[in-house]
A = this chain, B = another copy of it.
Amino acid sequence: MSNENNSSKKRRNVTIMDVAQASGLSCATVSRVLSGYEFVKETTRQRVMDAVEQLGYVVNLPARSLAGGHSQIIGLLVPNLDNGYVGTIAQGIDQELARANYDSVLYTSHRHPGKESFYVITIANGLTEGLLLVAPQVVPTYLDALREQNFPYVLIDQADATENSSIVDASNWQGAYEATRYLIQLGHTQIAFITGELIVRSATDRLAGYKAALKDHDIPINDDLIFEGHFQQEDGYEITKGILERADIQPTAIFASNDLSAFGAMDAIREHGLKIPDDISILGFDDVPQASIVYPKLTTVRQPLEQMGKIAAKILLEQIEDPSRPPQRVTLATQLVIRDSCGPYPPQEGETKPLKQTGGSLLRTN
């Protein structure tokens, strides 16, 4: 009685051996049953399952993983969780994984500045069978290591300079182009642009799309209207505040490289006593959940984030199943989502609602 289950030491778990013993079989057979091996007699399977049930056996993942089995777990490395962006992607990933009975384990990378590489390798070297990298912010120096180890991984929303990875992203250039064109068609010519971090591919693509649209419509590109931000709300706020205080430029619309900075811009504008979209139009990028919560609802370019997550997961799963598959790249179309934050210029009397568009990949939603 005193040496059974008392002290706080050494909790002994039920192992495969215990199940084997209880069912009068070998541990190998138990293992086979547990991992769904084909050739096991039905009665045997039943015996094992009964014992499992009765003993309350639970698999020990590290052991399984060590022994070379399938952990059915993939790693998901994200920069942070404080905006809807990552959450939405994760949602899609989760859905797809669930279908394959896989689980995901999420790591945040922002903790190890400069050590991402080490971190990633550790993950790859561990429990997981594959890796999904949502890494808009870092230039991955560790991809080589992963490739060398032949470890399956998929990049989400990040181009790999070596063109050697599976990648899922969105048509950033096109999205920015169409959004800019929309503003132009509304009559705007003085369109300020708030960039993201320009080391990030998606950021430069968006900037390029913006410039291309201006050019195609014979609107000169004015570098004074382009401001470098970091995809943060704070940036959007500060930059916009700066814009409004300057006398030399008078943009009638601001196109922010992501929703977060668009929110910041909205704050600054309201604080300055101006009305959106009557006095100035705002356009974002991403279509995070908040975009339809803010007031006025934000007109923005939708990245199919959930869809991106799903597809990335799917590709990874395929890659795990057959590691010899060549890398795939999927670029999903973005879509202009017209809500209430953009108006015509010059403003129409009594009409503050945005014009309905035709053609292009537009979408009118709430």
The contact of A151 among B11, B61, B63, B81, by CB within 8 Å, is B11
Q: Is A346 an interface residue (CB 8 A)?
A: no
Q: Does B94 lie within 8 Å of A58, measured CB to CB?
A: no
| Residues on B with beta carbons closer than 8 Å to the beta carbon of A108 | 90, 94, 104
**A293 within 8 Å of B by Cβ?**
yes
Give the nearest-CB partner of A66 in chain B: B62
Q: Among B13, B94, B126, B149, which residue has its beta carbon within 8 angstroms of that of A62?
A: B126
Contact between B11 and A150 (Cβ–Cβ < 8 Å)?
A: yes
Q: A199 in the interface, Cβ–Cβ < 8 Å?
A: no
A111 touches B98 (CB 8 A): yes
Q: Which residue of B lies closest to A270 (CB)?
A: B295
Looking at the assembled complex, report how far the CB atom of A123 sits from the nearest CB atom of chain B, in whole angstroms. 9
Mask: chain A, 73-102; 1 = CB below 8 Å from B; 0 = not: 000000011111011101100100010000
Q: Decide: A59 and B125 in contact? CB cutoff 8 A.
A: yes
A293 to B261, CA, bound (A): 11
Residues of chain A in range 22-77 having any CB-CB distance to chain B below 8 Å: 58-63, 65-66
- From A8, A60, A62, A122, residue with most partner B Cβ within 10 Å: A62
Q: Check if B107 sits within 8 Å of A103, measured CB to CB.
A: yes
Separation of A128 and B65 alpha carbons in the complex (Å): 14
Chain B min CB distance to A196 (Å): 19
Q: A289 at interface (Cβ–Cβ under 8 A)?
A: yes
Of the candidates B13, B125, B150, B324, the one whose C-beta lies within 8 Å of that of A58 is B125
Residues on B with beta carbons closer than 8 Å to the beta carbon of A342: none
CA distance A160 to B127 in the complex (A): 31
Q: Is the CB of A13 within 8 A of B125?
A: yes
Residues 258-275 of A at the B interface (beta carbon under 8 Å): 263, 266-267, 270
Q: A61-B62, A98-B111, A122-B58 are in contact. Are A11 and B289 (CB under 8 A)?
A: no
Residues of B within 8 A of A293 (CB): 233, 263, 267, 290, 293-294
Whether A355 is near chain B, meaning CB under 8 Å from some CB there, is no
User: Could you tell me the distance between the alpha carbons of A58 and B62 in the complex, rounded to whole angstroms?
Assistant: 16
Chain A stretch 1-24: residues in CB contact (< 8 A) with chain B: 8, 11, 13
Give the residue among A91, A106, A121, A151 with the most B Cβ atoms within 10 A: A106
- Which B residues are in CB contact (< 8 Å) with A121? 58
A323 part of interface (Cβ distance < 8 Å): yes
- Chain B's nearest CB lies how many Å from the CB of A102? 10
Q: Is the CB of A324 within 8 A of B81?
A: no
Q: How far is the CA of A88 from the CA of B83 in the complex (A)?
A: 9
Chain A window 285-297, contacts with chain B (Cβ cutoff 8 Å), 1 for yes, 0 for no: 0000110011110
Whole-angstrom distance between the Cβ of A366 and the nearest chain B Cβ: 8
Residues of B within 8 A of A62 (CB): 61-63, 65-66, 126-127
A61 touches B111 (CB 8 A): no
Give the chain B neighbours of A8 by CB distance below 8 A. Answer: 150, 323-324
How far is it, in angstroms, between the C-alpha of A62 and the C-alpha of B63 when the chains are bound? 7
B91 and A59 form a contact (CB under 8 A):
no
In the complex, A125 Cα to B58 Cα: how many Å?
A: 7
| Complex A-B: 10 CB contacts under 8 Å | A11-B151, A61-B62, A61-B122, A61-B127, A63-B66, A82-B88, A105-B105, A105-B106, A263-B293, A290-B290
Apart from A8-B150, A63-B66, A104-B108: 5 A-B pairs, beta carbons within 8 A: A61-B125, A94-B111, A103-B111, A126-B127, A295-B296
